[in-house]
Structure formats: structure tokens, C-alpha cells
Structure 1
Amino acid sequence: MPNSRPVPTVRRRRLGESLRRFRNAAGLNLDEAAAAVGWTAPKLSRIENANAHIRRGEVIALLKAYGVTDSEVFDALETLARDAGKRGWWQTYSGIVAPAYADYISLESDAESVKTFAPLLIPGLLQTAAYARETISGITMTRTPEEIAALAELRLARQAVLTRPTGPLKIWAVISEAVLHQRFAVRPSTMRDQLRRLTDCAELPNITLQVMPLASTPHPGHAGGFSLVGFPTAMPDVVMLENLMGVSYVEGGTEVSTFTDAFSRIVAAALPVDDSKALIARMEEESRP
């Protein structure tokens, strides 16, 4: 039986991108780097392009050939190599979750931080169960009630990263004020409960919330929402984009830095944190019967 080609998961792509970055920093081309560890250039190229497996020992050999001495880099990339094909808890939902979305959940589970601009919906990590069900039902269009319930359940399960014992995920969310005015005719309490959830989240030390006011000045967020997923220094950050066609990623260093700069400008255009908290709390209070 022929060997199956490994699926280029987002973890494997991040590993390949990191190894390419360290090779370039060492001033080595593919032939020189491959020769340094007794490989062929095509093998190294496949690894850098996420089309081949690499063992943890091989990662160490490459990093040493590149002159890397930072133990944190060794640990981070060894972990990526070990977990590149690892199945996560979300695989339970594999029948209803697209591979790209599963990739994002794996990113989220590895991440140190997520910075997101949300012009259309409350970010998934901050949603209530009712809000998740209502919005998933409206967006997916063709899902069965059972699938919608499972997707909502999955979305809430993702929120465990906010309180994980190994270090809670840090989230910085800038939410459009228009999102906070959304109403649900069938269940009017949905948005009230969601606003209360945001108020509670805003008090957690690992969550920063800002509201982008309706009267904001023009900013890069007008081009659309995105999530910037951050990792320890040794690993490259990743940008996630989402629309009706699904999830896509921006992974190149130069391209990711564009979104980093954009988020800084979005933050500057949004209401300060305390003013944002006050606005959300006031809207929650006004929504009470």
C-alpha cells in the first residue's frame, strides 16, 4: 500500500513556516540546509511546505544546523512536531465540522492570545448558548436542528480555553456597537442575557473588551472582521478570516503584520475599555423588562 500524503494541517504549516524562517535567518538555501543534516533538498522543501512528516529529533537536528540555541524555540517546535497530526477533543464533532474550522480550534487550543475585530457578531468565545444557537441557525441556512445544536455545543466547549489551568487564553475583542443593538424577536431575552455575559467577561483579567462606536472615524476594520491568533515567541502568529464559504488563514509573516498593525488602529478608534464596559452595562440594564 502506498504511503498516504499527510494532510497539511495548520499545525504542520506553522511548523514548516517556522523552520523556513530559521533557515533563512541562518542564511542557508534549501540545498545547504539539507546537506547539513544529510537530507535532500526536496525532502526539506516538503517539510517546509507541510507536505511531509517530521520527527521531533529531526526538528532538533535542523535547529542546531541553523545555529538556534534558545531552549524555548526547541520546546515549541518539538511540541508542534509531536502534535502536528494529533486528534483533539473536537474530533468528536468531525461529522459536522469542516477541516478548516477544526484547524482553527486546534490553533485556539495552542494559542496564548486572540485579538479579534467583530463587526457582525459577538465573538464565539464570548457567546451564550442561546445566542450561539440563534446565530448559527441564521448563518448556516442548510443545517438540521440537530446539527445546529451540536455546533452550538461545540462553540460553548471551546470557551474552556478562557479558564484552562495551564494558563487562560487572553482575548482582546473589539465589537461593533451595531452588534450590541441586535434583537431576537422570538426570544427577546437572548440579547439581554448576551449583554450580561459580556459584562461578566469584561471583569475577567484575561479578557479585554472594547466597543467600536457607530460614530467612529474610518479605520481598517471597515474592510472586514478577523482574528489574530498569537503564540509564544518561537511560533508565528496566524490570522483567521471567516465568511459564508468557511474559514481561511493568513500565515505569512509580512501579511500577518498587516493585520497586527490594523488591529492597533482599530483599538485606537474604539471606545476606551472603561467606557466600553459602561456602555455594555447600560445597554443590558435598559434591555430589562
Structure 2
Amino acid sequence: MPNARPVPTVRRRRLGEALRRYRHNAGLTLDTAAEAMGWLGPKLSRIENASAHIRPTEVAELLRVYEITDSEVVDALEGLAKDARKQGWWQTYSGIVAPAYADYISLESDADCVREFAPLLVPGLLQTAAYARETVAAHATTRTPDEVAALAEVRLARQSVLTRPERPLKVWAIIGEAVLHQRFAARPNTMRDQLRRLLDAAEMPNVTVQVMQLDVTPHPGGAGGFSLVGFPGPMPDVVLLENLIGAAYVEGVDEVQVFADAFERIIAAALSPDDSLALIAQMEERHRK
């Protein structure tokens, strides 16, 4: 497969947005801040707009201009600058994985937690190989069989974040009950094995699974599914919204908070984790009969 080296622009966007926010908080214009760095205004504008790279040492110097001395903030933003061009394992699939999806995988690799409301599909981090192949084939309608196989491989490879030695990713998945009733005519054991996978995953200390019942009262999740990606330290969260032709990100702090508040209400509307696992176990048992 082609191995191009696209810049993981989502890291640059997060860094640029953070630097812009701290500049505004410091009451500085682009020109004033750039002059303090010995730059022209357009250079700082390009950095904030994620169209130019900034070295980690320059990040630290710029934050001093903004009178930011919190070591946690400085270390986090220096780390983003350092990793802006870092290539991950997914880059070997660069001819297959769309840029927005590659961005998401890089977010996932940096993240501390993912909170996902999944009304239509088992979240990718909790899928079996067979379920991944079947659902990728169903949704990637313009892809060749080889590309479908590669995308399924990518989906499974992403799951390594759940068991990484340092900071295993915390996942809180709320799954629509309708998802658990899916049928795969050509491979009838697919759903049984997927239900077992959910039960096994929920035994991990960093994974929580809830089910949103079919007869639940209206809640914010009625507007559609989303993934809320959280990061350690001072970095703001990011929301992913997906559809058949790609993905979109919500990155503004106030806008992301809308989804965070909605997720809390979705948690309250869903079955408790214990009751959810009991329901999944009952359904898995029925598949065995």
C-alpha cells in the first residue's frame, strides 16, 4: 500500500486553537504577540490556523509572552508541537484511510478517554473481526474487497489502545439496543460472538458499557451518535461526528461542552452498567440455543 506522509493536521489544529486562546486571554493582538517573538504577524496567524509548524522551544517562548507559567500547560503544548509530524502505524494505510479518519486515529492514540453514544453500531474499539468486516463492507459502498479488508484491519488495530502499557484508553460506550438485535444472514454466529466480546470487554477496568433501551423516553441522543474524545492535562476535548462520506470535528470549547452535557443525560437515560450487561448476557444466551 502507498505510504505517504501526510501531516496529522488535527494535532496542529488543537495546538493552534490553544495558542490562539491563550493569546486572547493575554489581551494581545496577532501583531503584538508576533513582534514579541521577532516574527511578522502572518507567521503567527499561520500557526494558529494550523497551516504552519512551530517548534517546541518556540511554543515555550510564546507561552512566556502570554505569561503562561503552568508547567502542565507548557508540557502539553510542547508535546503537541513535538508530535505534530509524528507518524503512526496507520500511515501504512494512507492510501486507504481517509485523512479525517487518520486524524481521528491520531486523536485516539493521544487520548485519555473516549465517551461514545452509538445508536446504530457497536463502537469500533469493541468490535470483533467478523463484525468489523461485515459492517465495513456494508458501509464502505465504494470500496473494493481489498480495501474493505484493509479498513477492517485498521479498525481492529485501533483496539490496542485499550491494553497499552501506559494509560490504557478509558472507554464509556452507550449502545442502542437495536444494535444488539442485528442479524448477519451469511454468518449467523457473528452477533453471538460480538455480544460475548462486549461482555468480555466490560470486564476490563477501563471499559464501561451501557445499553439504551428501545422504549426509553426522549433524550439528547435522539439527535444522533457521537464520540467525545478527552485528553490528559489541560487540552480541550474534541467531538467526532460521522456519516457515510466522512467525518466532521467539533473543537470549540463551548460547543464541545454541549456534547459533554448531553452525554451525562444519555448516561442517566440508559440502563445501568450492571443491568446492561445482564441484558447483553441474556441475548448472548439466546443466540446459543
Q: Same fold (TM over 0.5)?
A: yes
Structure 2 unaligned regions, length at least 5: 1-5
Range that drifts further, 159-168 or 19-28 = 19-28
Alignment of 1:247-266 (within 5 A): 247-266=247-266
Alignment of 1:142-157 (within 5 A): 142-157=142-157
Structure 2: how far apart are the matches of 1:20 and 1:215? 45
* 1:72-119 deviation line (CA, Å, top 9, x unaligned): 211111111011122111011111110110010000000000000001
C-alpha distance 9-208 of structure 1, shift in aligned 2 (>3 A): same
State yes or no: 1:39 paired with 2:39. yes
Alignment of 1:1-289 (within 5 A): 9-289=9-289
Range that drifts further, 81-90 or 10-19 = 81-90
* 1:105-138 deviation line (CA, Å, top 9, x unaligned): 0000000000000011000000000000000011
**What is the TM-score normalised by the length of structure 2?**
0.95
Structure 1 unaligned regions, length at least 5: 1-5
C-alpha distance 168-7 of structure 1, shift in aligned 2 (>3 A): closer
Q: Tell me by how many angstroms 1:32 deviates.
A: 2.3
Q: Secondary structure at the match of 1:43?
A: helix
Structure 2: how far apart are the matches of 1:208 and 1:8? 29
Q: Is 1:113–1:231's contact at 8 Å kept on the other side of the alignment? A: yes
Q: Tell me by how many angstroms 1:248 deviates.
A: 1.1
Residue 3 (structure 2) aligns with: none
Q: Is 2:126–2:198's contact at 8 Å kept on the other side of the alignment? A: yes
Q: Tell me by how many angstroms 1:40 deviates.
A: 2.1
AA in 1 matched with 2:106? S
* 1:151-178 deviation line (CA, Å, top 9, x unaligned): 1111100000000011100001100000
Q: Is 2:161–2:169's contact at 8 Å kept on the other side of the alignment? A: yes
Q: Secondary structure at the match of 1:287?
A: helix
Structure 1: how far apart are the matches of 2:34 and 2:219? 45
Q: Tell me by how many angstroms 1:227 deviates.
A: 0.3
Q: Is 2:162–2:168's contact at 8 Å kept on the other side of the alignment? A: yes
* 1:201-246 deviation line (CA, Å, top 9, x unaligned): 1111100111001111111111111000000232121111110111
Q: Is 2:8–2:85's contact at 8 Å kept on the other side of the alignment? A: no
Q: Tell me by how many angstroms 1:29 deviates.
A: 2.2
Q: Is 2:174–2:209's contact at 8 Å kept on the other side of the alignment? A: yes
Q: Is 1:77–1:234's contact at 8 Å kept on the other side of the alignment? A: no
Q: Tell me by how many angstroms 1:31 deviates.
A: 2.3
Structure 2: how far apart are the matches of 1:63 and 1:208? 37
Q: Tell me by how many angstroms 1:38 deviates.
A: 2.0
AA in 2 matched with 1:51? S
Q: Tell me by how many angstroms 1:8 deviates.
A: 7.2
**What is the TM-score normalised by the length of structure 1?**
0.95
Q: Is 1:112–1:170's contact at 8 Å kept on the other side of the alignment? A: yes
Q: Secondary structure at the match of 1:172?
A: strand
Structure 2: how far apart are the matches of 1:51 and 1:44? 10
Indicate the RMSD between aligned Cα atoms, in angstroms.
1.2
AA in 2 matched with 1:99? P
AA in 2 matched with 1:257? Q
